[in-house]
Amino acid sequence: MYQLYGVILIPNAVYDELLDERAGETVITAVQSADWLEIHSVQNQKLVNQLSDRVNVGEAEAIALAVEVKAARLLIDERLGGQAATDLGLKNTGVLGILLSAKRRNLIAEVKPIMDDLTTRQFDRSGLLRLGTQEVP
């Protein structure tokens, strides 16, 4: 992720989701050791509350944080969250977009095996919410 987006900001709600025991030990360890992840508190709770009518709290906080920091791109995988972000003028992408970018930059060899693996593991795509403040060239 860092090679694609640089420092990744995540709101507290997403951080809490990623550290939930249901995420699994591998995810928890990766999140705790990722020095390119920065956890931020969202200031605009009014926007979070408005968005919570459409999306879950993690997505709402991620979108609100993207607005607050004027993020170059919101990394979000849920359709409703992506639409809410687009409605607010935010550029966004999901898992497939991330994998395609990684493939174009020769960071991964193939996209399909990774998508197949995620599907096999019944991957919780909402756990992939991330906020990229900049894209690394």
Does 20 fall in a domain? yes
Does 47 fall in a domain? yes
What are the structure tokens assigned to 53, written together? Answer: 């009518």
Does 108 fall in a domain? no
Does 120 fall in a domain? no
CATH number at residue 46: 3.40.50.1010
**70 Cβ contact list (under 8 Å, min separation 6):** none
Q: What is the DSSP letter of 21?
A: G
Does 107 fall in a domain? no
Strands (E), the chain: 8-11, 37-40, 73-75, 92-93, 130-132
How many domains are there within the chain? 1
Pair 19, 117: CB distance under 8 Å: no
What pLDDT, in 10s, does the model give residues 92-135? 988 888 889 999 999 989 888 888 777 766 554 444 433 343 34
Does 36 fall in a domain? yes
Does 104 fall in a domain? no
Tell me the CA distances in angstroms from 100 to 3, 29, 57, 103, one per residue in order: 13, 25, 27, 5
What pLDDT, in 10s, does the model give residues 78-97? 889 999 999 999 999 888 88
Domain span at residue 41 reads 2-95+125-132
Q: How confident is the model at residue 137 (pLDDT cuts 50, 70, 90)?
A: very low
pTM of the complete model? 0.79
Does 111 fall in a domain? no
